[in-house]
Structure 1
Amino acid sequence: MTTPRHVQARVAPAPVPPEADRWRRTHICGVPVDVLTMEETLVAASELIESGRPHQHVAINAAKVVAARRDPRLRQIIESCALANADGQSIVWASRLLRPRLPERVAGIDFMLRMWEVAADRGYRVYLLGAKPSTVQKAADAARAQGVTVVGARSGYWTPAEEPAVVAEVAGSRPDLLFVGLPTPRKEEFLHRHLDGLRTPLAVGVGGSFDVVAGEVTRAPRWMQRTGLEWVHRMRQEPRRLVRRYAEGNLKFVAMVARDATNRLRRGSRRPGRPRRAAR
């Protein structure tokens, strides 16, 4: 078994993680996404943990691309993340037009569950932060049932004045893996702001994944996940909160992809072609 990461020395984070140079990164509408399969992502994540330096992971979907295009600060934060996976199937589809092709979707909740398996196998210490108190405790119980060493679980409700204490609590638990169940852009900004202070080798934003693991929200059937219709299932469960978000966000994303694809074709058509052979 690999030596647990928490017994190794902690080192301050580098502005640009050198480990990220080991895999290919592309951009979808100006937002970075790593060209990795799930299995490759698990290997990359383990390498980041073993390196000892704090790193941030981000899951990219259509809504986040739209938000990042609108918010330069969020886009900069995403650029600084050591790992950026295609959380949404729409991102994979867009890559077929914008190139290079992404090999597959790496959904945030699936990545979290697979990393729990890795943590149980390698002895990594895990902290869960976010969601309601009862929800995060249920998620922690689910992780423990899989053999994960959960060193802390805290809800996502705190005031700005309480934030330093939250960071200190996480750091004091010395986790190897931190999963943060907060909405965008709050989780990205929180992790970027406190990445050094959290003293965690890999911090992963997982959105509403705790709600699913806790059994409070159901996940879409496999066929809906494969066909990119998982958002329809989510919208049915929370129509008041999600109908407008998905209706506007998806349309904007499609328009952005279409515009970028058109610009790409235009740039390609302007390239000088090979000289034609003279007619004989």
Structure 2
Amino acid sequence: MSAASNPRPYPTVSLYGVPFSKMDMRATVDYLIRAIENRQPHRVVTGNPIMLMTGLADPAYQRILETADLVVPDGAGVVWAARRLKQPVAERVAGFDLMHELLKEGDKRGWSVYLLGTTKDILDAAHANLARQYPGVRFVGKRDGYFKDEDDAEVVADIRRANPDMLFVARSVANQEPWIAKHQKELAVPVMMGVGGSFDVISGKLKRAPAFFRKFGLEWFYRLLQEPKRFKRMLVLPKFALKVVKDGDNVLKTR
């Protein structure tokens, strides 16, 4: 199913077949508030150039991106590409910020949350910090991300028992989005969202990029300074930029 055959109830721009939302942060949060209030399951992808390039090389991953209920423009490269193609998004909607905006709403509304992913120590620290910051949120369950495929049924059953309003998943690029997509129907959580390395920042293990870096789309560079081992992964970013320049308007065509 392509974005073209699955129209969304909000404006989008298709980049290599992936339907990125043009909504700003406030409109995105309002949209997801309605999803939670109506108990309508939504798989949310915080899209970036690394994901797009992965999808171009892997048809199964591409389908996961194309069929998400909401893809927000997380990466600065996505915002740049849409603007270059004269189909601009309203603004960058960073997954880290979107998660916190949703937790603010949950704090006021008594929503429930399940945290899944990363190591036990980081998860425990992130949970403790979030519980202090958002005392009105009910944290109904948590599980580290180091489980095997044969444990999936147990993990899914635990999430179903907890019946959260929001599920935040922090796993690797290779299995975060595929895992959520594989189990989304069983999970049936109103907001199911991959949050990547957010728990590392929330726990205090890593620092988030200062406002200057975020303003100029250099958050990736700040993270690279903290984690030099990510260098090879970051090489995808200039490759993406060169590809967008080379492909021109073909970037907007659904494959």
Q: Same fold (TM over 0.5)?
A: yes
Q: Shift of residue 149 of structure 1?
A: 0.9
Query: What is aligned with 1:156?
Result: 145
| Residue from 230, 234, 255 that aligns with 1:246 | 234
1:25–1:32 contact (8 Å) kept in structure 2? yes
Write the distance in 2 (CA, Å) between the matches of 1:137 and 1:31: 34
1:86 is the counterpart of 2:73: yes
Q: How many residues align?
A: 247
When structure 1 is superposed on structure 2, of 230-239 and 25-34 the one drifting more is: 25-34
Q: Structure 1 runs of 4+ off > 3 angstroms?
A: none
The answer for unaligned runs of 5 or more in structure 2 is: none
Cα deviation, residue 262, structure 1: 6.0
Give the Å deviation of 1:203.
Answer: 0.3
| Distance in 1 separating the partners of 2:166 and 2:147 | 21
Aligned to 1:185: 174
Q: SS of 2:128's equivalent?
A: helix
Normalising to structure 1: TM-score of the pair? 0.84
Sequence identity of aligned pairs in percent?
33
Quick check: 1:201 aligned with 2:190? yes
User: Can you list the C-alpha shifts for 1:8-63, whole angstroms capped at 9, x where unaligned?
Assistant: xxxxxxxx9xx973201111233221101000110111122222232200011111
Partners in 2 of 1:152 and 1:56 — Cα distance? 19
Q: Give 3-state SS (helix, strand or coil) of 1:81's partner.
A: coil
AA aligned opposite 1:59: T
Give a deviation string over 1:206-241, Cα, whole Å, max 9, x none: 00100000000111111111111111111111112x
Contact 1:136–1:214 (CA under 8 A) maintained in structure 2: yes
Residues 157-200 of structure 1, C-alpha deviations (whole Å, 9 max, x = no match): 10111111011011110101000011213111111111111131
Question: Using the alignment, how far apart are the partners of 1:85 and 1:168 within structure 2?
Answer: 28
Q: Which has the higher contact order (CA 8 A, sep 6+)?
A: 2
**What is the CA RMSD across the aligned residues, in angstroms?**
2.0
After TM superposition, the structure 1 stretch with the greater mean CA deviation from structure 2, 172-181 or 26-35, is: 26-35
Change over 3 Å in CA distance of 1:35–1:262 after alignment to 2:
closer
- Whether 2:14 is the aligned partner of 1:33: answer no
Tell me the amino acid that sits aligned with residue 221 of structure 1: P
Q: Name the SS for the 2:222 alignment partner.
A: helix
Report the structure number with the largest CA radius of gyration. 1
5 Å-filtered alignment, 1:56-75, equals: 56-75=43-62
